[in-house]
Amino acid sequence: MTPNPLLIQIISISVLVYFVLLNGGYLMLNFLAMYALRRRSQEAILDDLPQVYSALEPPISVVVPAYNEEATIVTSIRSMLQLSYSEMEVIVINDGSTDRTLQVMIDEFALVPFPEAYRIQLETRPVHAIYRSTRFPNLRIVDKVNGGKADSTNAGINAARYPLFCCVDADSILQRDSLQRLVRPFLGDPLMVATGGTVRIANGCEVRGGFLTRVGMPTNPWALFQVVEYLRAFMFGRMGWSVINGMLIISGAFGLFRKDTVVAVGGYNPKAIGEDMELVVRMHRKLRARGVPYRIEFVPDPVCWTEAPEDRKQLRNQRIRWSRGLSESITTNWGLMFSRHGGVAGWMAFPFFVLFEWLGPFIELFGYIFMALAWWQGWVSWESFGIFLFLAIGLGILLSAFGLLLEEISFHLYPRPSQLLILAAVVVLENFGYRQINSWWRLIGLYKWAIREEAKWGVMTRKADWQQDMN
């Protein structure tokens, strides 16, 4: 039986309009990102001058939640201890690890139990002990009952002694000047409450002594697709929203926050599986409701390198978890959307995330299936189907190419022509299968959240083969 032609036409037009709006929104973010990068390139001229640090920068507490990270924790801590910054402390929270994470740190950094006042500003699971390194005076370890990443970060905030804290994943490597760059917006704007840096894929790179010594390309196809995906997400996604103070997410792997602001809004939510985005959205909602002026900014040049999953199962679990985290962030902060004082965050960014990020997987997959079936059955013309393919795939390739172009113009982290050729090929190939699979995984996450299935982090196996200094 042939469906109603009018119904087919309405659905077809709706699908096409959705993809026009989707790609139009991303194109707008592209132009905003280009504007921001142009402004940054003008300011970067000063970076070539000799840098003199006055030791007047605000001190920073680097908070590192760790659970079963024995493969990477030593290299990560070494990287953080050697950061170029005038005054900082590193606080690692061992969240009830069941492997040798704590023992590895005790052996490597000569840790001893240290009785100190532990001020509870945010409720967390009980703390067993606090250790201090006898080799590095600014390194402390908080050993506590397992409570998840959000609970661990809150414990680190409680232990932090400085007004700013930088949350970093335990499997991450920071560039030496990362904190200096990430803190700059705080120095120039008293309204700044949070900044986020760029996260890149460490797979295929080389790390010695806690520092990245060679930028390489992963050979694993899953990790390779994620290189382009991260470029697109950071280079025009977060940078574009940052220009108009509408950025709703700072990666939990690398973000700098004003501690008193985070404590005032309740800290990280231990019940949220996407605690990093949920905190930032809640900060927007509560600060705007209270009429408090603020800025949240993306800083593109401080880079954090992290290991990406290299097998389908781990990547699938990660994307399902991200989708559930997005669902929690949206629904628990629904009051931000179209609120009286919502500003850009409430009137543009939040609705954009609801329509294109949260509901996007369902609408996109429905669009692919419906348009393909309608063309196959002769319900829509070849011209209409061709327009759909251009909007869904052609513009997707164009947007990814934009991200790669912005990266090449601004930072040139992948200098070899062979690397750029590989990335250019991935820009095309990811639109024929990888992005659709991702949409399917995100839809599964949306479904699991809708039926209230118990959220689980799953196991992330660290290969850590990019570390060259392990014995």
- pLDDT tens profile 370-403: 999 999 998 899 999 999 999 999 988 988 888 8
- What's residue 471's pLDDT? 45
- What's residue 252's pLDDT? 85
Count CB-CB contacts under 10 A for residue 14: 12
- What's residue 117's pLDDT? 80
Enumerate residues 6+ apart whose C-beta is below 8 A from 33.
235, 236, 239, 240, 243, 406
Assess whether pLDDT exceeds 70 at residue 274: yes
Contact present, 459 and 321 (Cβ < 8 Å): no
Q: What angle do CA 163, 271, 297 make, to 5 degrees?
A: 40
Assess whether pLDDT exceeds 80 at residue 154: yes
Pair type for strands 211-214 and 206-208:
antiparallel
From the list 64, 9, 57, the residue with the least C-alpha distance to 255 is: 64
Assess whether pLDDT exceeds 60 at residue 458: no
What is the C-alpha to C-alpha distance for residues 374 and 379, in angstroms, rounded to an integer? 5
Q: What is the DSSP letter of 300?
A: E
Higher pLDDT, 338 or 412: 338
> Is 213 exposed, middle or buried (CB count within 10 Å of its CB: 0-12, 13-18, 19+)?
exposed
**Average pLDDT of the chain to the nearest whole number:** 89
- What's residue 3's pLDDT? 77
Q: Which two tokens stand for residue 341?
A: 């004082």
User: What are the CA-CA distances from residue 156 to residues 66, 141, 257, 277 (Å)?
Assistant: 11, 9, 13, 18
User: Where does the pLDDT of residue 466 fall: very low under 50, low under 70, confident under 90, or very high at 90 and above?
Assistant: low
Assess whether pLDDT exceeds 90 at residue 173: no
Mean pLDDT of the 231-260 span: 90
What's the one-letter identity of residue 226? Q
> pLDDT tens-digit profile of 66-101?
999 888 888 889 888 988 898 999 999 999 999 999
Q: Which two tokens stand for residue 159?
A: 């232990």
- What's residue 470's pLDDT? 47
- What's residue 104's pLDDT? 94
Residue where the block lists tokens 């973010």: 29
List the beta bridge partners of residue 305: 173, 200
Max Cα separation, the chain? 79
Contact present, 65 and 93 (Cβ < 8 Å): yes
Q: How far is CA 407 from the centre of its chain?
A: 17
Burial call 105-140: b when 16+ CB within 10 Å, e when fewer: bbeebebeeeeeeeeeebebbebeebbbbeebebbb
User: Where does the pLDDT of residue 212 fall: very low under 50, low under 70, confident under 90, or very high at 90 and above?
Assistant: confident
Q: What is the DSSP letter of 255?
A: E
User: Where does the pLDDT of residue 333 fall: very low under 50, low under 70, confident under 90, or very high at 90 and above?
Assistant: very high
SS (H, E, C) 213-249: EECCCCCCHHHHHHHHHHHHHHHHHHHHHHHCCCCCC
Count CB-CB contacts under 10 A for residue 463: 15
What is the C-alpha to C-alpha distance for residues 224 and 218, in angstroms, rounded to an integer? 6
- What's residue 215's pLDDT? 85
Higher pLDDT, 237 or 3: 237
Enumerate residues 6+ apart whose C-beta is below 8 A from 128.
143, 144, 145
Looking from the CA of 193 toward its CB, the CA atoms found within 13 Å total 22
- The model carries a pTM of 0.91
User: Where does the pLDDT of residue 404 fall: very low under 50, low under 70, confident under 90, or very high at 90 and above?
Assistant: confident
What is the C-alpha to C-alpha distance for residues 433 and 213, in angstroms, rounded to an integer? 33
Higher pLDDT, 355 or 253: 355
List the beta bridge partners of residue 173: 305
What are the residue ranges spanned by the domains of the chain? 7-45+163-461
- What's residue 424's pLDDT? 92
Q: Which two tokens stand for residue 312?
A: 């389908």
Assess whether pLDDT exceeds 90 at residue 414: no
Residue where the block lists tokens 């996407």: 274
pLDDT over 70 percentage in the chain: 92
